Amino acid sequence: MQVNLITLEKQQYLDEWSLTTSQKAVMADLELQPIVDIMAADDHVIAKIATRLFFTPLTTSRALTWRQATVKHALMHPDYYEWLYQFTTTTIETVRQNFWELGHESASYHLYNKSRLLTQYLQAIGTILDKPLPDHPAPALQQWYQSLDTLFNGQLEPMKTFLRQVLFDHGYVLPAHLATNLDTTVDEVIDVVPPHRFQKVFTKLKIHAQGFEIAERDDHSAKALEHYKNQAVMKLATILVNVYQEVVNWFQELRLETGWLVGVIQLSRRLPAAPRCYATLASSMEAQQLINPLISLLLNQPAVANDFLPVQTALTVITGANQGGKTTFLRAVGLGELMAQAGMFVMATCYQTPPFEMVLTHFKREEDQGERHGKLDDELQRMDQLIHVMSTSSLVLMNESFASTNEHAGSQINFQITHGLLEAGVTVIAVSHQFEYTQLVQRYHCRPYFLVAQRQANGNRSYHMLPAAPKATSYGLDIYHRLIR
């Protein structure tokens, strides 16, 4: 049994997973947590899967379009997906409340307990199959429903009947014989006997029914009979335990995948209807009218849209006026990339990206008074950690890196690291006020794409990023004059 509503192949999302150090930095630097919180709406299941999928990028066009089709359908028919998630969650919680084990249960107990719990799951599957699909279902939803219907078509009632027979325990038919040491040996169950059918079963097996009674206080005989019963039902109990675990995993996976879709629905409701698009995989990055969704979510105001057209170059350097929106734009690119390769919509009119295996960030930090080393040492250590985890198919976002030292030293360090990353095949987008750094990357043929935060003639900031050559000033006096006034 597989779900595959948002994945082409079977994925294991049920294992233990937690953020790495570099992923925690991305969460903080890109301010991703508010987006996760809105998606989750205080639901820890949605929060966990939403966070995980931001850091599990889709790297093939087939996988990306498969998930995007389901997202589009979910946004058009949110009621069905919200019902499916809620119903799945309720089913899991109901079964969990009825589940108890001490760890040393007998085979006959497992047979009884798993039959009872499986009955609840089968009833839930019947309810899901009875629920009509929305119009024009996505390929993933259609395939999921058809596979479920094929697997259980006409079999749900016989399955539930069998489990009822096990639950009511009207007896079992099993072969037994004397061993050479005159001990009794029993084999596996031949049949589970429904009520009032003993004679029919015996006739079918061409054997005669022989019975005996155990005295009311004959504990030894009762224990012996229970021992033989456990031997006989061991294989049947093992089968039911395995079936039960597969069904449990299926419901857990369904909960996670529909939970993620519900998270996308909830995020969509909080964001403006435009600009929006779905990403395509290509050889280079490109974004048109890209906005930072956090502006709309947290500030409740329209965000300034910007184009990002680096044209087949692996290095973009963003310079220009202080407080001109450079960091906000860098976050917009980072969030757009995470949303794009998660298969979500992107807040842009057009977005394409190479199949990055990971997004990493190196942002400036405030100095920690509790640390024994300075800010530059901290920056170098964090970059060293990134280098050890990154692959050649990585996107690295650098925000004012190595600005904690003087202009010359910081520019030299920044350039050497940038040059090394580019040589390794990594894509770099850097915000920097180091004019010497911009000259170095030009001089040594890194073919950078320069964007400059626009400054209007009166000193105001438009928050537009425009292709232009970097300048030696960041117009810090504008801010000084504004504060003085």
What 3-state DSSP class applies to 43? Answer: coil
Residue with tokens 């996976």: 253
Rounded CA-CA distance 328/340 in Å is 18
- Asked if residues 57 and 355 have their Cβ atoms less than 8 Å apart, the reply is yes
- Cα angle 257, 261, 266 (rounded to 5 degrees) comes to 145
| pTM summary value | 0.84
Structural domains of the chain, ranges and CATH numbers in brackets: 58-270 (no CATH), 277-484 (3.40.50.300)
Omega within 30 of 0 (cis) for the link into 275: yes
Cβ-proximal residues to 317 (8 Å cutoff; 6+ apart), any chain: 430, 431, 432, 437, 438, 441, 448, 449, 450, 451, 470
From first to last of the 485 residues of the chain, give the pLDDT tens digit: 889 999 988 777 888 899 999 999 999 999 999 999 999 999 999 999 999 999 999 999 999 999 999 999 999 999 999 999 999 999 999 998 876 665 555 555 667 778 788 889 999 999 999 999 999 999 999 999 999 999 887 778 787 776 777 666 545 445 544 455 545 444 444 444 444 433 444 344 444 445 556 667 766 655 655 555 555 556 667 777 788 889 999 999 999 999 999 999 999 999 988 899 999 999 999 999 999 999 989 888 889 999 999 878 899 999 998 888 999 999 999 999 999 999 999 999 999 999 999 999 999 887 665 555 678 899 999 999 999 999 999 999 999 999 888 989 999 999 999 999 999 999 999 999 999 999 999 988 778 999 999 987 777 888 999 999 998 765 544 444 454 55
* Phi, psi (rounded to 5 degrees) for 290: -80, 135
